[in-house]
Amino acid sequence: MKLEPGARTIEKRAGRQAVAVAVVIFTVREGRLSVLLIHRAAEPFAGRWALPGGLLLPGETLDQAAARKLTGETGVSDVYLEQLYTFDLPPGCGGPRAVVAYFALVDEAQVRLESRTTWQPAWYPVSGVPALAFDNNAIVEYALRRLQAKLSYSNVVYALLPERFTLTQLQRVYEAILERPLDKRNFRKRIQSLELVEPTQQVERSGAHRPARLYRFARREPLTF
């Protein structure tokens, strides 16, 4: 974290509050589900990769703190964000007592990574995440399982796609998350029977080899069935 004037004061006061948040930010890049990691410059765990996170500011709720971290790293707001689980942190160091982990879904096209001088953010495919600081690898695993499970009963993937998209693009996202290929016809049948998406009048032409119908999500808010 960059030390601006006053930052150390906040850090010191907040240290006693003993709650931190961490966010697993997912996107689909080059057909692979990827996670945003930051490279720590400061101790503890200097030189290791870690999830974006940090202490609550005074008066802030947990959700607000997670949203702030998300926006701070990616520049996007108003995307999907869900609380995952709360983990203990090792005692000592006077650091926070627990981390409340969140996961977020963002459309890569809307992301502008902050480039900091002291620590760099970068995307890693979930299947190639390096050893992380704290117990952050466990958090990523947990987030992945939750996301996979949600595909079957929720519309959360809307947050990973642009406003309009083809069914093939949608299928690619499902395949990236589930890490296995899906049958094209069965996929389209299921999606249409769930009525998650609706066709638009527009047609994709650029780069497509055959004109493709564009769809949009019937709702762009989270649905839980």
Partner DNA sequence: CCAAAAGTGTTCAATCTACACCCATGC
Partner DNA sequence: GCATGGGTGTAGATTGAACACTTTTGG
**Rule CB under 8 A: which residues touch its own copies?**
16-19, 56, 59, 61-63, 83, 85-86, 88, 91, 97-98, 100
Count of positions (residues) in the chain: 225
Residue 34, classed as helix, strand or coil, is strand
Q: Are 190 and 178 within 8 A, CB to CB?
A: no
- Please state the closest distance from residue 166 (CB atom) to DNA, in A: 5
Stretch that binds DNA, among 11-19, 22-30, 136-144, 181-189 (CB under 7 A): 181-189
Q: Does 180 bind DNA (CB under 7 A)?
A: no
162 binds DNA (CB under 7 A): no
Integer Cα distance of 69 and 74 in angstroms = 9
188 binds, among its own copies, DNA, none (CB under 5 to 8 A by kind): DNA
Give the orientation angle of helix 167-178 with respect to helix 136-151, to 10 degrees.
140
Take residue 130 and report the two structure tokens written for it.
């390096």
Q: How far apart are CA 32 and CA 139, in angstroms?
A: 19
Say whether residue 13 binds DNA (CB under 7 A): no
Nearest distance from residue 162's CB to DNA, in Å?
A: 14
- 135 SS3 class: coil
User: Which of 88, 58, 53 shows the shortest CA–CA distance to 68?
Assistant: 53
- The nearest distance, CB 60 to DNA, in angstroms, is 41
Choose between 85 and 123: whose C-beta lies nearer to its own copies: 85
Interface ranges with DNA (CB under 7 A) = 166-169, 183-186, 188-190, 193, 205, 208-213
